[in-house]
Amino acid sequence: GDSVTQMEGPVTLSEEAFLTINCTYTATGYPSLFWYVQYPGEGLQLLLKATKADDKGSNKGFEATYRKETTSFHLEKGSVQVSDSAVYFCALEQAGTALIFGKGTTLSVSS
């Protein structure tokens, strides 16, 4: 079945460091891909998405490109802030079904 694998954390960075969180997927067809973020004590929020190959999703300085050839959707940010500390989930969705999530990656940014 479809699945999402993302790098295990926690990821610990200093403020202004470069961030990469790896995400790869296994799916039939052409799923939409998402990154969700969960801040402490809150529900998940959509961070960015891409619906077809080579699409780049971006939001709040975060970017991810839908790479069909490598089945990847890695999350990047050029300069992280303390406020970016959260849990990040990669997910895929086939049309008409629910999301399939990775296990989440905890990011901790210190000043």
Partner 1 sequence: NAGVTQTPKFRVLKTGQSMTLLCAQDMNHEYMYWYRQDPGMGLRLIHYSVGEGTTAKGEVPDGYNVSRLKKQNFLLGLESAAPSQTSVYFCASSLPPNYEQYFGPGTRLTVT
Site stretch for partner 1 (CB under 8 A), options 11-19, 53-61, 74-82, 92-100 = 92-100
22: left (phi over 0), alpha (psi -120 to 50) or beta: beta
For the segment 20-79, give every residue that binds partner 1 (CB under 8 A): 32, 34, 36, 42-46, 49
Helix/strand/coil percent split, the chain, to 5: 5, 55, 45
Of 13, 17, 27, 99, the one binding partner 1 (CB under 8 A) is 99
Of 29, 40, 96, 111, the one binding partner 1 (CB under 8 A) is 96
Give the whole-angstrom CA distance, residue 97 versus residue 86. 26
Handedness of CA 24, 28, 33, 34 (dihedral sign): negative
CB of 73 to partner 1, least distance (A): 15
Binding-site ranges for partner 1 (CB under 8 A): 32, 34, 36, 42-46, 49, 89, 93, 95-96, 98-99, 101-104
